Structure 1
Amino acid sequence: MLEPALNETEQDMPLWKNGEFVANDWRTVEDEAPIPDGAPTFVSLARWRAERETLSARNAPLGLLLAPDSDWRDIVADLPHFAAIAVSVPKFADGRAFSIARLLRDRDGYAGEIRAVGDYFIDQVPLMTRVGIDAFQTEDPILIKALENGEWPEVTNYLQPALGPKEVPAGTRPWARKRG
């Protein structure tokens, strides 16, 4: 289970969004820690369930932090309360964040920011965007350098449709998609 912690250096952690690094104003707080007034803050699913009424009344952006083993089906109606949802990638080989993002977008209709946090590689970033992740928080110097250099190791032909822009059928195989 993901253990959210108040991270004093989190604002200094690079956030890549819309093809560039942007300011990261968000904080993640432990379940027992006070929530900073007026600051965009991620809370755990357990804290949301326990403090829903209080957190709903905040006058600052609220985010939800989902661990890979989270089951959020009982709060789908609450998703509009969240300006952002952070999906945890505890190890690069753990693909549950991909599934969580796809379910949030397709099944649950979530339209806000979905942010990947944790341990992932540049090779995974284009695939993460295909399932609906649109922001990437990392402190991995190799990943940061790759994004700064514009590296994008993308496959241009796919066998499954996704959320990517400008995908069109490729030739005589309608199940194959080509990035346009």
Structure 2
Amino acid sequence: MYGLVNKSIQELITTNFGKERWEIIKMKSEIKIDYFISTEPYDDSVTYQLAMAASEELNISVDEVLFTFGEWWILKTGNEKYGGLMKAGGTNLKEFLINLPLFHDRIMLIYPKLTPPEFKIDGIEDKALVVHYFSRREGLVGFMKGLLSGLGKLFETPVEIIHLYGRENGHDHEAFKVSW
């Protein structure tokens, strides 16, 4: 993952829990990187180690850490750093989600070494749809639910997110029903 992801985790922790907690989490993660460069790719294990250390230090599950980070990513990092791209995705939650499969194509223009997930949208109803999430990265269900929740908050639309199925059930991807 790019350094931008790890910097965002650092911002989330320092903003909500203080710089001292971040230093403890960084130490517990055994990451030997002094600072993250936004445009540099880092091994995924760095992000996972930070999430596990945050889980231990904050006494919450890794899924809760990832969910909180997903919301933060949308509301803070995504909205502040990529506001134009976010606005280009749609004027409401449903439009944005329907356009989600094209979003990472635009991001790849900024981060050419990015290995983005893929999305497929189906089951479109008036107030619900299904988001299919395909990624080579495992263990990000909590993060994906946080992203979807964050999008609901961004568009001021309360959402219900149900994890329909995923890799733990033998599928090759995760599927989420998003209702509003």
With normalisation by structure 2, the TM-score equals 0.31
- Computing the radius of gyration over CA atoms, which structure comes out larger, 1 or 2? 1
The structure in which a higher percent of residues are strand is 1
Q: Which one scores higher on RCO, CA 8 angstroms, separation ≥ 6? A: 2
With normalisation by structure 1, the TM-score equals 0.31
The structure in which a higher percent of residues are helix is 2
